[in-house]
Structures are given as C-alpha cells and as structure tokens.
C-alpha cells in the first residue's frame, strides 16, 4: 500500500501545514512562544518532546491522558479515604451493637430464669409467736438467690434457696417485731411506725 | 435476679449510713438500725456466716430505696445525706444556679 492508496482513507497530516484542518487548529490553540518557527530547538518550528519529535496533537493527547490518570488516581484515593472512615465508623457501631446484644442476651437469660410468686405464710412455729392471719410473701429468685418479702410491712430477707429465704424471712419478721416492740413510739420514724402497726395486726406473742 | 448486694456491701452500707448494731440476744441475724434525730428510720438484717458473697438483695427493700441507690451507697458515690434526702427526711438541695452565657 503506497501513500496515495493510504491517503485515500487517511489524508496526510502535517503539523506544519497551516492549511490542513489539524495544522490550522494547532496554530490557533498553541501559545505564542510555541508558534511555528519560534521554538529554537525545533527544526522549522517542529517541537521535540523527550528527545523525539512528536506531532503536537499527540503531545496534547498524552498530556490529556496523564491529567485524566492523575484525576482518576486522586479520585480513587479520595474514595478510599471515605471508605476507610466509613469502615471505622461501621466497626465501632458493630462493636456497640455486639455489646448491647450480649447485654440483652444476659437480661433475657435472667428473665427466663427469674421467678416471682406469692406464698401464704401461715405459721411461725417453733417460735413463741403465732400468726393472727396469713400473710402473702412474695418470693423472687433466679436459681442463685431468693428474696422473700412481705411488701405491705416492708420486711424482707434473702436466702440461697426458697426455703432458706422463707426461714430467714421468718427470723427477720420476728426480729423486726421484737425490735419495734422494744422501742417507744416516739423513737420510731414514719416507716418503722407503719411496720409496727401492720406487724401488730398479723403477729402476736403466745407466751 | 443475680446477686446485686453482697454481705460485704451490706456491711459497707450500714457503716456509710452510720448504722448501729441493734441485734437482740436471740436474733439469728445481725440487725443494722439507721437513726435520724433519735428516731429509727430503717433497719435491715445482715446474715451471719463467713461467706462475704452471701446475697443481701433484701437490703434495698428494707431501706426503701432502689437497688441501684443501695449499691451506690455501698460504693461510696452516695452519702448518708443523699439517703436522707431520698427518704425525704432532709430538704432537697436547691438546683444549681445557671451561669449567664458568656
């Protein structure tokens, strides 16, 4: 294929030919100091780039590609930084959620194991006291510890088993009774006064 | 109801509230009495035995405060005066004056 045949498809491009469309456009966009014929090291106004002569439109294309590559690179870096920040925030949130979930799991376990029920207390035997009427004792426990409470009089005791808690409750009830009985009314605060009033109604001495 | 108040903490609470040992001769447990103006305002039992971890979750109920408050009493973040205020035996502290904006 000779030049004539090739030129039928690709017309010859010369950067020095201001008449060609490529050449004329280059002349218009080129800065003044690079005007054809003014560049001292370019033979006849041609520019040497990297020691080799390159057509100016190719040089622009390379510069454009480099600029685009730099831009893509900086954009990628910026996105990477954003991703890193987002990942750190996400990791912190996951840590917080894991902590909360483990806390909730413990709470659910505790609630599954906890039991609250009321048993009527009818006797204080073998002590020298007797119940005037049966009282409701609320038992709360989770298998490890139990608390028995007479809510109305605010008397309470703990134990490692339900039976232990009830036995301790009876002792606590009687010691409260004896303590409040031994103190003159003017030495009782509002809560002990109320306790004493209630205990007198539910417990009495047999001796 | 995991063990919230241990025997050790119950003893600390008793000391913190200036509690007095008002145990009677035939009592099975030690009794700590809290007095204010020569009046008994609360009392609670402390189980005997060497186990310092023995459960005393009944203490907040007998003190008439929440479990959290009782724990804070034992752990030194609340004082006797805070307890008396909680029980409304002492007047509440006035709110802190608001500083003018700079």
- Per residue of chain A (207 residues), give pLDDT as tens: 444 444 444 444 444 444 544 444 444 444 545 555 444 455 554 555 556 666 778 888 889 999 999 999 999 999 999 999 999 999 999 999 999 999 999 888 877 777 888 888 888 877 778 888 888 899 888 777 888 999 888 888 888 888 888 888 888 888 888 888 888 888 888 888 998 988 888 888 877
Question: A18: alpha, beta or left, given left = phi > 0 and alpha = psi -120 to 50?
Answer: alpha
Question: B85: alpha, beta or left, given left = phi > 0 and alpha = psi -120 to 50?
Answer: alpha
Distance of alpha carbon B80 from alpha carbon B101, whole angstroms: 35
**A197 and A179 co-located in one domain:** yes
Domain count, chain A: 3
Q: Determine, yes or no, domain membership for B43.
A: yes
**Is residue A126 reached through a cis peptide bond, with omega within 30 degrees of 0 on the bond before it?**
yes
**A43 and A125 co-located in one domain:** no
Q: Is the dihedral of CA B4, A149, A151, B37 positive or negative?
A: negative
**A17 and A64 co-located in one domain:** no
Q: What is the DSSP letter of A117?
A: E
**A104 and A31 co-located in one domain:** no
Of A114, A188, A191, the CB nearest to B64: A191
CB contact under 8 A, B3 and A191: no
Which residues form the domain of A35? 3-54
**A97 and A130 co-located in one domain:** no
CB contact under 8 A, B3 and A144: yes
Q: Determine, yes or no, domain membership for B95.
A: no
**A134 and A199 co-located in one domain:** yes
% of chain B exceeding 90 in pLDDT = 0
The label of the residue with tokens 């001495």 reads A205
CA contacts within 13 A on the Cβ side of A42: 20
- What residues in chain A have their Cβ under 8 A from chain B's Cβ atoms? 110, 114, 140-142, 144-145, 147-149, 154-160, 168, 171-172, 175-176, 178-179, 182-183, 186-192
């Amino acid at each position: 294929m000779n030049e004539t045949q090739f030129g039928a498809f690709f017309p010859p491009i010369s950067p020095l030919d201001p008449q060609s469309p490529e050449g004329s456009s280059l002349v218009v966009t080129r800065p003044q100091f690079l005007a054809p014929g003014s560049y001292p090291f370019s033979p006849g106004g041609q520019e040497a780039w990297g020691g080799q002569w390159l057509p100016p439109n190719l040089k622009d294309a390379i510069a454009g590609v480099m600029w685009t590559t730099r831009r893509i690179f900086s954009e990628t870096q910026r996105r990477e930084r954003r991703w890193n920040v987002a990942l750190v925030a996400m990791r912190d949130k996951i840590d917080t959620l894991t902590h909360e979930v483990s806390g909730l799991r413990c709470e659910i376990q505790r609630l599954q194991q906890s039991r609250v029920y009321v048993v009527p207390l009818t006797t204080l035997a073998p002590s020298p006291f007797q119940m005037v009427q049966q009282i409701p004792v609320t038992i709360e426990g989770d298998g490890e510890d139990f608390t028995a409470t007479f809510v109305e009089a605010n008397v309470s005791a703990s134990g490692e088993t339900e039976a232990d808690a009830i036995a301790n409750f009876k002792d606590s009830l009687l010691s409260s009774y004896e303590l409040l009985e031994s103190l003159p009314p003017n030495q009782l605060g509002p809560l002990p006064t109320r306790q004493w009033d209630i205990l007198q109604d539910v417990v009495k001495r047999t001796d | 109801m995991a063990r919230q108040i241990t025997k050790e903490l119950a003893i600390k609470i008793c000391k913190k509230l200036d509690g007095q040992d008002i145990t009677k001769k035939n009592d099975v447990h030690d009794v700590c009495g809290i007095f204010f103006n020569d009046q008994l305002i609360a009392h609670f039992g402390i189980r005997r035995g060497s186990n310092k971890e023995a459960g005393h979750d009944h203490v907040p109920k007998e003190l008439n405060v929440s479990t959290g408050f009782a724990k804070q009493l034992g752990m030194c973040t609340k004082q006797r005066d805070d307890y008396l205020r909680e029980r409304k035996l002492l007047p509440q502290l006035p709110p802190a004056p608001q500083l003018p904006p700079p």
